[in-house]
Structure 1
Amino acid sequence: MSRLRGLTWDHPRGYNALAAAAGDLIHWDAQPLEGFEAHPLADLAERYDLLVIDHPHIGEATECLVPLDDVFDASELAHWAKNSIGASMRSYHYDGKHWAVPLDAAAQVCASRPDLLAAPPTTWNQVLAVREPVALSLAGPHAFLTFCSIAVALGEEYPVSDATGLAVLDTMAELHGRAPAGTVDLNPIGLLERLSSTDDIALIPLVFGYVNYAPTVRFSDAPGLGSTLGGTGLAITRRATVTDELRDHVRWLMREDTQCGFIPSHAGQPSARAAWAVDGFYAGTARTLENAWVRPRYPGYIAFQAQASALIRDALDGVFSFRTCLAELRRMSQ
């Protein structure tokens, strides 16, 4: 049998463990983070048997993916759901079917430099009081995700009221106005690289957490526990031949001992709740993962997310008023 072809994303967290476990069964390629976030799955599914995906793509990808309910027993799927942190498994459930298993778990959390900031903020008022350099995660879809996470901390999930939306934009604008130069264009990896390697950022109050940067970056729960769920799922495309060997490989990846041992030892970030009990990065952000907001998964959401982020960036730069921004977001959501 020829090797299956898989596509993941080009960061050690996304690639190393999969490649090390693949043996002769799978050849893994990698794409940039921006491709993982935005490239249409239908196009990738024509070329790959396995895809590492972001859950908001599910709504427009069911035609090209195999429902895992046809591959695994209901008891197995229920076990993985019960033992995965937060909504990691549920985020891949759509239209009555499971479309991926959660290989990896993440959410927007607080990242800071312990040598530059004595203690991490736990509320947005504390974030605003920080005088050291603060950067927001605004590139690509992340301006909208940051907006949504702050809204959750204020008690509302998107779509939000004008009062909450204005409060969120006021907070973002104050921080954006004094952010270090060039940070607005950095994706989460770029922000964490800069946070860990220079002294010109002391705090990123919301950014998707990466255990890989924990040696120099202090990760803590998101301010007010307001956060958006990330992570990655492993999906099987309709071009794949589903064999017992492939089923067993996925089962092995989802086993608790694999999630708690093999994956972390290969720079991965597991989804098993048991793995998030370990002191440091995991235990320090587990409450955020357990409570993170799950984004919509309807067809067209990915395009909306990108447009909404561009709109918020323009509003923060003064192109139009915050009320105009909120009205346009509401129109786009209809």
Structure 2
Amino acid sequence: MSNITLRGMTWDHPRGYEPLAACAALWQSRTGVRIHWDRRSLQDFESFPVEELARQYDLIVIDHPHVGQVTREDCLLPFDPARLASIARGTVGRSFDSYLWQGRQWALPIDAATQVQAWRPGRLESAAADWAQVLELARAGRVALPMRAPHSLMCLYTLCAQRGAPAREAGPELFDPETATAVCEQLGELLRLVDPRCLEMDPIAVFEAMAQPDSSIDCVPLIYGYVNYAWAGFRPVRLGFADIPSFEGRGPVGSALGGTGIAVSARTAHAKEAFDFAIWVADAEAQRGPFAAAGGQSGHAAAWEDDAVNATAGNFYRATRATLEGAWVRPRHDGYMLFQHAASLRLNAGLQAGEPARAIVQALNAMYRESLA
């Protein structure tokens, strides 16, 4: 039996740590390799430097926009493409490709997510079909929208892409001015109708509020899906999930891709053991089996298509797959992560102050040009 212990870092939500803990226990029984998982907050996950984590951990769960920065910092080891065919074939949407940068695969998708729609079965007959219905519900005080940084920027991305003008990764102008101005006006209208606390809420906070029996929230039109809240008994109220509302006949295209990938630190003393676990946990057997059973939001299509997995999850996967298949990949260049945080704060400040939408977009485009430099 092996006496090797690996250290891993993931994020602090049952979806983030329970499936990895379950898979680690099974892996130890098979190989003798122990894996101890630590956690960090969702905010830290979205912003904490991967380079610092790589000094302390063998395995790191990351978000795909980090890859440009971590490539420059040389803090991760690339995966051997010869071992990845099954995982690549099983990608949902562009989850696998989102961790491919400069010809190398820096992480493997273990969790697939994008902005989808959440709703309250029993209160609504179905999810909102279009944005006109969302506004009707919002005027009745039945809508929430997580807008804490960086989620406000994610909403801007999603809605621009759905209108046919996705943000331009190569720049120099990130947003089409006319489209983004219209979207900022749309977000401003929604913000005037929802609880002001939405500006300080991330998806977890919204779900926790929405899943209480006395909640007034019946519809969240854009929110990163969390499969746990579709499980019976996870919280007092079981939530429903659906594709994002259509806009003028345009379907669920352009949602800002999220999810997580598992990466191997360049500082590890046990690279083989770390790679072996990462590849196993990202492939079909683990993803459809122990990962999904422990509350993970699988990144492999084998789980998304599985009848038993969908039954447990209230059909979460099938109900949102079209949105994920049409999702848009955020920029990933070195410098993007600083832009993402600063731009989200700038967007929120402008929306709160009632600043003209065109001025907000001009400021965001100027910030993006600086990030490319």
| TM-score, length of structure 1 as denominator length | 0.94
The AA in structure 2 aligned to 1:12 is P
Instruction: Determine the structure 2 residue equivalent to 1:113.
Output: 120
What pairs with 1:59-98 in structure 2 (closer than 5 Å)?
Answer: 59-62=68-71, 63-68=74-79, 72=80, 74-98=81-105
SS at match of 1:213: helix
1:180 touches 1:201 (CA, 8 Å); kept in 2? no
Q: CA deviation at 1:222?
A: 1.4
SS at match of 2:77: coil
Instruction: Determine the structure 2 residue equivalent to 1:287.
Output: 322
SS at match of 2:76: coil
Cα offsets for 1:146-191 (capped at 9, x unmatched): 1110111111111332221121112111111011242221111111
Matched, 1:258 2:286: yes
Matched, 1:144 2:166: no
Instruction: Determine the structure 2 residue equivalent to 1:325.
Output: 360
- Larger CA deviation: 294-303 vs 24-33: 24-33
Cα offsets for 1:259-303 (capped at 9, x unmatched): 112111111111111211244101000111111110011111111
Q: Give the root-mean-square deviation of aligned CA atoms.
A: 1.6
The AA in structure 2 aligned to 1:99 is W
Select the residue among 41, 57, 60 that pairs with 1:48.
Answer: 57
Q: CA deviation at 1:76?
A: 2.6
Q: CA deviation at 1:233?
A: 0.4
In structure 1, list runs of 5 or more residues that go unmatched.
none
- Larger CA deviation: 88-97 vs 236-245: 236-245
Instruction: Determine the structure 1 residue equivalent to 2:217.
Output: 201
Matched, 1:4 2:6: yes
Instruction: Determine the structure 1 residue equivalent to 2:234.
Output: none
Q: CA deviation at 1:251?
A: 3.0
SS at match of 2:217: coil
SS at match of 2:324: helix
Q: CA deviation at 1:318?
A: 2.2
Aligned mates of 1:123, 1:191 — CA distance in 2: 21
1:13 touches 1:267 (CA, 8 Å); kept in 2? yes
Matched, 1:184 2:199: yes
- Larger CA deviation: 152-161 vs 32-41: 152-161
Cα offsets for 1:109-142 (capped at 9, x unmatched): 0011122222212322332232342111210201
Matched, 1:300 2:322: no
SS at match of 2:129: coil
Q: CA deviation at 1:250?
A: 2.4
Instruction: Determine the structure 1 residue equivalent to 2:235.
Output: none
Select the residue among 298, 304, 310 that pairs with 2:345.
Answer: 310
Aligned mates of 2:270, 2:326 — CA distance in 1: 34
Aligned mates of 1:65, 1:40 — CA distance in 2: 12
- Larger CA deviation: 203-212 vs 320-329: 320-329
Cα offsets for 1:171-227 (capped at 9, x unmatched): 111111011242221111111111111422111100100010014111001123141
The AA in structure 2 aligned to 1:210 is Y
SS at match of 1:177: helix
| TM-score, length of structure 2 as denominator length | 0.85
What pairs with 1:150-169 in structure 2 (closer than 5 Å)?
Answer: 150-158=159-167, 159-169=174-184
In structure 2, list runs of 5 or more residues that go unmatched.
168-173, 232-237, 247-251
Q: CA deviation at 1:319?
A: 5.1
- Larger CA deviation: 267-276 vs 85-94: 267-276
Aligned mates of 1:248, 1:156 — CA distance in 2: 40
SS at match of 1:61: helix
Matched, 1:171 2:186: yes
Aligned mates of 2:129, 2:199 — CA distance in 1: 23
